[in-house]
Structure 1
Amino acid sequence: MKKHITEADLTQLVSVTNPQYSPDGKRLAYVQTEVNKELDAYDAQIMVYDFEKQKSVQWTFEKGRNQHPRWSPDGSNLVFTSNRDETEQVYLLNINGGEATKLTNIPHGVSQPIWSPDGTQLLCSVRLTKDESATDKQKQKLKDDQPVEIDTISYKVDGQGLKRGAYTQLVLINRETGEVRQLTNHERDHHSYTFSPCGKKIAFCANMMKLSGARVSDVYIMTLATGEIKRVTTQSGAFSSLSYSPDGQQLAFLGHQQEFKNATIQKAWLYNVNDNNLQCLTEMFDVHLSDVVISDSLIGGELPHPIWTKDSKGFYTVGTDNGSTGIYYISTEGLVYPIRIEKEHLNGFCLHPDETGFVAAIALPVWPSELYHISFDGIIKRLTNANQAFVEGHMISEPEEIQFETKDGLTIHGWLIKPTQYEKEKTYPLILQIHGGPHVMYGHTYFHEFQVLTAQGHAVIYVNPRGSHGYGQDFVNRVRGDYGGADYEDIMGAVNYVLQQYDFIDQSRIGVTGGSYGGFMTNWIVSHSNKFKAAVTQRSISNWISFYGVSDIGYFFTKWQVGADLFDDFEYLWDRSPLKYVDQVETPLLILHGERDDRCPIEQGEQLFTALKKRGKEVKLIRFPNASHNLSRNGHPKQRTKRLQYMTDWFKTYL
């Protein structure tokens, strides 16, 4: 008999991600991540699917995170990273078996190795301060009471904490000797790196602007023999995901020129190595080329760089559209067409070496992530069954798509999930879910939190209001400068639409919750409407004025998104702050906040709690020690479970 889904069931979910074909196409390496209940952590293991035997075999067994598998060019070895010895290091496995060999012993830890074309070297990244070197035998130890010197505006990152002057540098590791060669030493982060097919050059992304706080990411090419660096983009955009064509003549990457700041749709670009020509291939294509679907069932996903065809005439990449993610082909002449775009969350893929098909990691609304082989003639086969036991053992409610028109002519798209044991003639409470970002997207994917709520007898509605990705450039840009305006109307309009269309909803029992931007909107809603009988605000924003100086992104986000700088229009920021309107709040409010949230720092929740409590309002604050902004997605399993329990208990009490 199938069971109801509970908060604790999130520990049963398995993440299947990062598929990588072997060069001969006979094997497929991937990462399988599960909860380690004993350690209150996650174990990620390297799995290998054998196409001849049609089954998967586990290749790593050490506890911790074994991830980022990459086959050697000749297919004889597989490298991966592992934190089994405290710091993350590179390990090598021979396909004929045996124990993994530790290739690096860098005290700072090593990330994301990629092979040189000849298989003799590995290009990796290491976090170092200006006083450290990748060849150091010991890492500088910092005491908790040691002062931290700060001289840059970007001095902390959510989930990482204080940077302490450390930046991501690139290093080469000799496959045979383990010798380390540090390639970069600028006080800047270097990322999205790749080898040229000849192996004589690498390309990478970095922000080399001297202006403190400049938000750019340029593409650079380095000649390995001399260390000479050449910039190929314009110091005005944000680029990443680099990939050389097989003939070495072209470099493809994704990004934009920040025409709409961080609300700009990501496009495909092409740099011609020979004539030094840079062009945007998808200028007229109104689809965001990345995966921005928000979910709480995936751990450790990794988006592939553009994947070229052998003839160097085009490449494949992921795109986000209308609640779905899929694969698009883009030719070097700028022709774009979808290879696969279904009602699903395709969160990673790899192309078969003979280019007859691909393997994709796909999550469905009623089935968490698995690997699927999809041939170009349309035949699809599921390769893994990591979540089969969970799916077959639980009652999972299938979302129903909804859409309605706004007063100004936009179409708002979303979903309604009925209670798991829905019965006609009965009425049920409704819970509105609001996503963060705001430039992400709810989609056709499994969302555990929603299933927990429906299992407890609630209906759940979630929509993509203006500001969400997936519906074109104009749509995603419309929220900027109007937080709490038309976006508020979109969200409230969704609730009104559902109340009109579905008579099983008890209009006297409606709740609302959301995190980050969704937390801001939850705060805004309860301070501007008494429609809701219970609310849970998570990792929220209540005061744009203080947010400016305490968030890791506040110094630019406030201007780019809310539409005003602290010193240009103080009153406007205060007018858009929910804290200003606390006297109007009548809805019982639960505040959930991580104490190490550097994106929306906990002082945002504290201010709101204090103001409401002082006025005698019904409010409670729950603090999660050491939790960052991503608590609900990749925080400690026990805290994630407890967070869900606090939420469901609040709705049980007040709905």
Structure 2
Amino acid sequence: MKPGFIYFILCILFLSTAVIPQNTGEPEKILQSEYFAVPQPVVKKQNGLSEQIALLLKQTEIDLEAIDPVTGSQSNRIYTSWKETSASRNGTFSLKNTTGALAEVWLCLFIVSDAFMPVTVEAESDASFTLFLNEKALITSKSGLPDSLVRNSEKTQLTNGTHRAVIRCILPADNKERSISLAVNTEEAFAEDFTFALKPVKRLTTLQLLDDDKVSSASISRSGKYAVVSVSRYNTVNKKTDYSLRLYDAQSQKLTAVFPQSSVMSRLRWMASQPESFIYTESNSSETNIRQYFPATGNNLVLYRGISDLESYQISEDGKLLYILKSVRTKEESKSYKRYQNPNDRWPWANSKNKLILLDLNSGQEHLLADFDNSLRLHDISPDGKRLLISFSEDHFDNRPFSRTYSAELNPATGEIDTIRVFDWYRSAQYLSDDEIIYSGGPSMFGKEGVNVPDSLIPNEYDTQIYLYSIKKGSVSPITKNFNPAINSIYANQKKRILHLTVTEGSMQFYYEYDIKSGSFKRVPLAIEVVNDISVSDAGQVVYTGSGATVHEKAYYYHNGVSKILHDPAPHQTQFGKGKTKVFNYTTPAGKSIDGLLYYPVDFDPEKKYPCIVNYYGGTSPVSQDFEGRYPKNLWTSNGYFVYVVQPSGATGYGQEFSAIHVNDWGKTTSDEIIGAVNNLTASHEYIAKDKIGCIGASYGGFMTMTLLTRTDIFAAGISHAGISLLPSYWGEGYWGYLYSAIATAESYPWNRKDIYVDQSPIFHADKVNTPLLLLHGNSDTNVPPGESMQFYTALKILGKEVELVEIDKQDHHILEHDKRDFWTRLIIAWFDKQLKRQPGYWEHLFKQK
């Protein structure tokens, strides 16, 4: 293909939004900083100025992210003033140092690419310079002090997105006229994939999502005076995550202290005793310490050091007694065989023991309270401080869920354990009073008391409910039986008898208060749609974390009906372009409403046609409207896609009858609803290309991708991450296969429900797949074994279908390791680019690199 030159238009952040015509051969404008004198490095005299300039150009400790100029801007970060400069007739920009000293000047430029493409960047200048593309040095002039125009070039690649280039020029104090010009050389086939603008829309990138600071949690003191926000940051130098706790004056949102750590800081608890303090844990790869911090003085004490496997802890109201539950791994004798006495023996922690320890913080004395198997859990301390609320389980294979949980009270003074009740479908427990316990669990936790489905349906035990139980009376009140949202977390205010709840309601997560006296729920109007974490003071102030469909996660302070930002970990993300969202629900032929949310491309133009990615889970929970998530919808819209998120039947957050559809369905109802919703979408939106629809899901959603492609040809590409292709093998081999199936396939087994385990397994319908499919899997996945993807891949290869299988090394069910997650995320975009945009270059490039 004949190469052609497309000159690299220098796209500047200033107020104009005019689009420069494609046939412009040379850059017309650029933003240029002031000239700044720079310290002269000490060098040998014979090399002098040339070596000084060369040394300056090698400097790497430059905050390139701080260089983000706007015409006339006054920045207090690096350079204080920027101006717009025009090119000469021959396309060069003039450089002239009149400071009387060795000086530097910066130029800034942008290019927007709508496809992956190989390019050659050229720069010609008689000045010494380094050109950075996307914060990495791409070209450095070969001579420290050139005496004539020198052309330098470098090959690189542009991915779909906005690319920023900055040029650092070092000029001697000679008042001489110099110049610089730039160009990008690519194949003519890519000419239409360049879009130049003077103010390009910034687009999210994979690394921005992975590397930006993250809010982990937030907590407020009992008095409401202090708030703490936990923040994590990926360190690109040592390839590890750094952590910090940020202490605020809650009412003013003023930051008062920051203490960074290389270890994870979590499980924070505020003490009511004066002076106010909080307990927290700091953990590294080998051990955990429990510490106590006093905001008023800054004192930071170690309460307990060197716990190898901390399960949980509780501290008494007066702060004198610390209860620690830790796990102790027992080493198995090395043998040439392994005898299984329980399916759970495959779990690495199966033979560990849990020890409950009491530490008297005044005397320093330590007492062993209980030594159990690994099912022991410590939940709460009674309001009178005399009992511990614990639970432990035992296996039984006679009935679902194949284990029973004993809820009990332990008397620390005597060591006696009194069983309160034995449960199926148990989740958690906490005291409301000395006689009352708030339990959470499945709808059948108390038999029929919490069930709200027709007799023809089996309840979905993942649809978490709340119960109020009296120990003395043995009576129970099912609080959420007629409350559709599913419960995520519970905090009980014992004095006010109010439950503070985070719930899943449809695709959103909200904060509710439940007044036990009146029996009423009240939704608290917070600033975002997906609340991840809440903390409530005794006076009712709230700090919380969360995000929205197009709003990145932050920490907030809420009081008297008003939310204020407490900490924004990545304020620059507000500068990135985000497409609008629209609720687009689907009504089934039977009249059932299926929720859908449509994300628009960042560069949406109603006169164009766009590809669309359909995302779903299809299992026990909806796909959340959070900003990032495992599948970052905003990243896809930044790459020119519509994204349609569908919430088919079976998900929690819509009421028990809706979630019960999940039980024993395994893709029949849900696939019909997804297919119907997609057909409705394309029929209603002419700017969505009907022949360029992709689908993606993970785990149960990966199973749904496989199932969908055996039932329809409406998709042009599919992606299944960690999907299930053969239900009986997942049931028996996955670590939690038979336990998950105790709910999802209730009372149904391979020997009595061939219609599910065979007929609903995608592997038996592989010959019906006509859609290109990418199978992704962590090769250390213990939840859904990698063989589930491998056997489907093998079938499709034998059938001559278009299929790819990529295993991610040493990753489990979720791809978490930074660089591997980066590759995995790019791989998803590259596959859809290849299949839906007919742009195979990125896909091919990723595997050339590997």
Question: Taking structure 2 as the reference length, what is the TM-score of the superposition?
Answer: 0.69
Q: Is the contact made by 1:523 and 1:537 (CA closer than 8 Å) also made in structure 2?
A: yes
1:643 correspondence with 2:830? no
Distance 1:50 1:586, change over 3 A: same
Report the Cα distance in structure 1 between the residues aligned to 2:586 and 2:741, rounded to whole angstroms.
30
Which residue, out of 788, 799, 805, partners 1:615?
A: 799
- Counterpart of 1:509 in structure 2 is 692
Instruction: Tell me which amino acid in the other structure corresponds to 1:402.
Output: F
Which residue, out of 272, 276, 281, partners 2:479?
A: 281
Secondary structure of the corresponding residue to residue 185 of structure 1: strand
Which residue, out of 360, 375, 380, partners 1:174?
A: 360
1:579 correspondence with 2:759? no
Report the Cα distance in structure 2 between the residues aligned to 1:210 and 1:481, rounded to whole angstroms.
22
Report the Cα distance in structure 1 between the residues aligned to 2:585 and 2:379, rounded to whole angstroms.
41
Secondary structure of the corresponding residue to residue 260 of structure 2: coil
Report the Cα distance in structure 1 between the residues aligned to 2:511 and 2:393, rounded to whole angstroms.
29
Report the Cα distance in structure 1 between the residues aligned to 2:675 and 2:256, rounded to whole angstroms.
49
Q: Is the contact made by 1:45 and 1:58 (CA closer than 8 Å) also made in structure 2?
A: no
Q: Is the contact made by 2:281 and 2:290 (CA closer than 8 Å) also made in structure 1?
A: yes
1:119 correspondence with 2:319? yes
> Could you report, residue by residue, the CA deviation over 1:76-134 in whole angstroms, capped at 9, with x for unpaired residues?
433211124732222233335567443323452324333211201222321124x6xxx
Report the Cα distance in structure 1 between the residues aligned to 2:370 and 2:390, rounded to whole angstroms.
11
Q: Is the contact made by 2:246 and 2:255 (CA closer than 8 Å) also made in structure 1?
A: yes
How many angstroms does 1:520 deviate by?
A: 0.2
How many angstroms does 1:476 deviate by?
A: 0.7
- Counterpart of 1:434 in structure 2 is 616
Q: Is the contact made by 1:427 and 1:506 (CA closer than 8 Å) also made in structure 2?
A: yes
Secondary structure of the corresponding residue to residue 480 of structure 2: coil
Report the Cα distance in structure 2 between the residues aligned to 1:64 and 1:646, rounded to whole angstroms.
31
- Counterpart of 2:204 in structure 1 is 5
How many angstroms does 1:578 deviate by?
A: 0.5
> Could you report, residue by residue, the CA deviation over 1:345-364 in whole angstroms, capped at 9, with x for unpaired residues?
11121222223x32222212
How many angstroms does 1:653 deviate by?
A: 0.8
Report the Cα distance in structure 2 between the residues aligned to 1:32 and 1:143, rounded to whole angstroms.
42
> Could you report, residue by residue, the CA deviation over 1:432-483 in whole angstroms, capped at 9, with x for unpaired residues?
11126x1112233213621111111111100110011111111111122122
1:206 correspondence with 2:388? no
Structure 1, 457-466 or 173-182: larger mean CA deviation: 173-182
> Could you report, residue by residue, the CA deviation over 1:523-571 in whole angstroms, capped at 9, with x for unpaired residues?
1111222221111110110110211211112223335324530222345
How many angstroms does 1:333 deviate by?
A: 4.5
Sequence identity, in percent?
21
1:477 correspondence with 2:655? no
Instruction: Tell me which amino acid in the other structure corresponds to 1:641.
Output: D
Instruction: Tell me which amino acid in the other structure corresponds to 1:174.
Output: D
Structure 1 stretches lacking a partner, 5+ long? 132-139, 291-302
Structure 1, 408-417 or 345-354: larger mean CA deviation: 345-354
Which residue, out of 136, 142, 153, partners 2:343?
A: 153
Report the Cα distance in structure 2 between the residues aligned to 1:219 and 1:620, rounded to whole angstroms.
48
Instruction: Tell me which amino acid in the other structure corresponds to 2:260.
Output: F
Distance 1:5 1:646, change over 3 A: same
Instruction: Tell me which amino acid in the other structure corresponds to 2:615.
Output: Q
- Counterpart of 2:847 in structure 1 is none
Report the Cα distance in structure 1 between the residues aligned to 2:725 and 2:285, rounded to whole angstroms.
41
1:268 correspondence with 2:466? yes
Q: 5 Å matches for 1:270-419? A: 270-290=468-488, 303=489, 305-308=490-493, 310-311=495-496, 313-333=497-517, 335-340=519-524, 344-355=529-540, 357-375=541-559, 377-392=560-575, 394-419=576-601
- Counterpart of 2:194 in structure 1 is none
Instruction: Tell me which amino acid in the other structure corresponds to 2:413.
Output: A
Secondary structure of the corresponding residue to residue 629 of structure 1: coil
**Residues paired across the two proteins, number:** 618
Secondary structure of the corresponding residue to residue 576 of structure 1: coil
Distance 1:218 1:463, change over 3 A: farther
Distance 1:552 1:180, change over 3 A: farther
1:464 correspondence with 2:643? no
Which residue, out of 85, 90, 112, partners 2:290?
A: 90
Distance 1:424 1:186, change over 3 A: same
Distance 1:73 1:333, change over 3 A: closer
Which residue, out of 409, 417, 430, partners 1:229?
A: 417
Which structure has the greater CA radius of gyration? 2
Distance 1:585 1:103, change over 3 A: same
- Counterpart of 2:136 in structure 1 is none
Report the Cα distance in structure 2 between the residues aligned to 1:539 and 1:58, rounded to whole angstroms.
43
Q: Is the contact made by 1:172 and 1:182 (CA closer than 8 Å) also made in structure 2?
A: yes
Report the Cα distance in structure 1 between the residues aligned to 2:242 and 2:792, rounded to whole angstroms.
37
Secondary structure of the corresponding residue to residue 828 of structure 2: helix
How many angstroms does 1:178 deviate by?
A: 4.9
Distance 1:418 1:371, change over 3 A: same
Instruction: Tell me which amino acid in the other structure corresponds to 2:267.
Output: H
Structure 1, 520-529 or 254-263: larger mean CA deviation: 254-263
How many angstroms does 1:512 deviate by?
A: 0.8
Distance 1:471 1:144, change over 3 A: farther
Distance 1:379 1:89, change over 3 A: same
1:491 correspondence with 2:674? yes
Report the Cα distance in structure 1 between the residues aligned to 2:812 and 2:531, rounded to whole angstroms.
26
Structure 1, 34-43 or 575-584: larger mean CA deviation: 34-43
> Could you report, residue by residue, the CA deviation over 1:606-648 in whole angstroms, capped at 9, with x for unpaired residues?
11111112222211111112211122xxx11212111111111
Q: 5 Å matches for 1:41-120? A: 41-51=240-250, 54-74=253-273, 75-84=275-284, 86-97=286-297, 100-120=300-320
Secondary structure of the corresponding residue to residue 127 of structure 1: strand
1:243 correspondence with 2:430? yes
Secondary structure of the corresponding residue to residue 208 of structure 2: helix
Q: Is the contact made by 2:460 and 2:656 (CA closer than 8 Å) also made in structure 1?
A: no
Instruction: Tell me which amino acid in the other structure corresponds to 2:272.
Output: P
> Could you report, residue by residue, the CA deviation over 1:156-211 in whole angstroms, capped at 9, with x for unpaired residues?
5xxxx622412544333333455443333222423361111221111123324555
Instruction: Tell me which amino acid in the other structure corresponds to 1:35.
Output: Y
Question: Taking structure 1 as the reference length, what is the TM-score of the superposition?
Answer: 0.88
Q: Is the contact made by 1:193 and 1:202 (CA closer than 8 Å) also made in structure 2?
A: yes
Which residue, out of 535, 543, 565, partners 2:749?
A: 565
1:27 correspondence with 2:226? yes
Q: Is the contact made by 2:779 and 2:812 (CA closer than 8 Å) also made in structure 1?
A: yes
Instruction: Tell me which amino acid in the other structure corresponds to 1:279.
Output: S
Report the Cα distance in structure 1 between the residues aligned to 2:338 and 2:208, rounded to whole angstroms.
41
Secondary structure of the corresponding residue to residue 385 of structure 2: coil
> Could you report, residue by residue, the CA deviation over 1:400-423 in whole angstroms, capped at 9, with x for unpaired residues?
111121112210012011111011
Q: Is the contact made by 2:459 and 2:663 (CA closer than 8 Å) also made in structure 1?
A: no
Q: Is the contact made by 1:306 and 1:317 (CA closer than 8 Å) also made in structure 2?
A: yes
1:653 correspondence with 2:834? yes
Report the Cα distance in structure 2 between the residues aligned to 1:148 and 1:334, rounded to whole angstroms.
57
Q: Is the contact made by 1:269 and 1:279 (CA closer than 8 Å) also made in structure 2?
A: yes
RMSD: 2.6
How many angstroms does 1:144 deviate by?
A: 9.6
Secondary structure of the corresponding residue to residue 194 of structure 1: strand
Q: Is the contact made by 2:391 and 2:407 (CA closer than 8 Å) also made in structure 1?
A: yes
- Counterpart of 2:237 in structure 1 is 38
Distance 1:498 1:329, change over 3 A: same
Instruction: Tell me which amino acid in the other structure corresponds to 2:477.
Output: Q
